[in-house]
Structure 1
Amino acid sequence: MAAWLVVGLGNPGPTYASHRHNAGFMVVDELARRAGTGFSAPRGMRADVAETRLTPLGMGRVGAEAQRVVLVKPRTFMNDSGAAVRKACGYYGVEPSEVVVVHDELDLDFERLRLKLGGGDNGHNGLKSIRSALGTGDFYRVRFGIGRPPGRQAPSDFVLTNFPAAAREQLALEIDRSADAIEALIGQGLEAAQNRFNS
């Protein structure tokens, strides 16, 4: 059975867990929660993975229409995400056209979400690493808006800061909406998902 690979981008370890740069991890964690499954670290994989199924009724269900979904959180740091994604693609026999990458996006304001196929890496080192490792940029992206840093703060510093406490409730809603968008992308196709979720 062919699989979809849903990759959340972030940095491993508790120090980074609440950072804006870890929005991808947060969304993939929500998908695993919905599926009622946990992550494991197969030997040599360089990632934490969780296998599940997606049906029109949601994650973790079974049925004739079920699609296999592998959730991936690279154990490498962001700049080397591609090594983990390439390994996972090889292990599960997944082509780039069945890869969905969820990542933080500086060029979208917080509370904005965009789904697309292909495109540049826009300075995002995780995307750049994946494009290099797969030899193509033709994979799906779920762009989770985090906005630009205030004042003169460097973007590289800004992404390594926590979402503000005042935004915690809205952050939970955005994580939930992003997980919904991924389910729609896999279940209904890109155009239908874009029509519902692109903002």
Structure 2
Amino acid sequence: MANQSEILYRELMEEDYPALEKLIIDTWRFDKLFNNPTDTSYLAKLYLKNCLQNNTYAKVAVSEGTVVGAIMGRNNSSAKKPSLNEALSWVGDAAKLRLSKSGRQVCELFKDFEELSEELLAQCRQIFDGELAFFAVDPDFRGLDIGKNLLQTFISYLVSEGAHTLYVFTDSTYNSTFYEENGFIKIGEKTKDLQPLIDASLSMCIYSYEF
């Protein structure tokens, strides 16, 4: 296990994408949604591309050359729409995922989550300067303040851009106490039934932060 002084923080690079896809699968347990590893891989690629398309900030934490944490977000005033090539690439992976029954179910589920997110944001009746869109730390490297350090780099970036508020969506699979311990306030919550894909429900929350 590495110690804090051995963790390197740097900008995200394209060669980090495969490691991020693995981090996504391990963090959100996408492998539990499919029997086919190919579908799991397509979903991870789709999720990552969606995060990359409209973010203005991305940084990773690295231990001995391996990505063990990452954060992505945006300053809404400088966010750009995805290019045509980026949009087509996203559509291509979505089409591949829809080739299987479970893939189609997951696509519909993510569509529902997108609508749920929009509802939560609309209910807040607040315009935010930034969004924390992706945030994950390898479970084997938690307890080294990697998450706290990554979060601080993003907040510092937003401050330098003149931002004053940000929001983040999270769900009941994530340790929401992390956000509360770091000054975030829960301002909304909704529950989604995951059937027929999984016999369970999931609570989605929106947290805000002011600085």
- Could you say whether these structures have the same fold, taking a TM-score greater than 0.5 normalized by the shorter chain as the test? no
Higher relative contact order, structure no. (Cα contacts within 8 Å, ≥ 6 residues apart): 1
**In proportion to residue count, which structure has more strand?**
2
Q: TM-score scaled to structure 1, two decimals?
A: 0.29
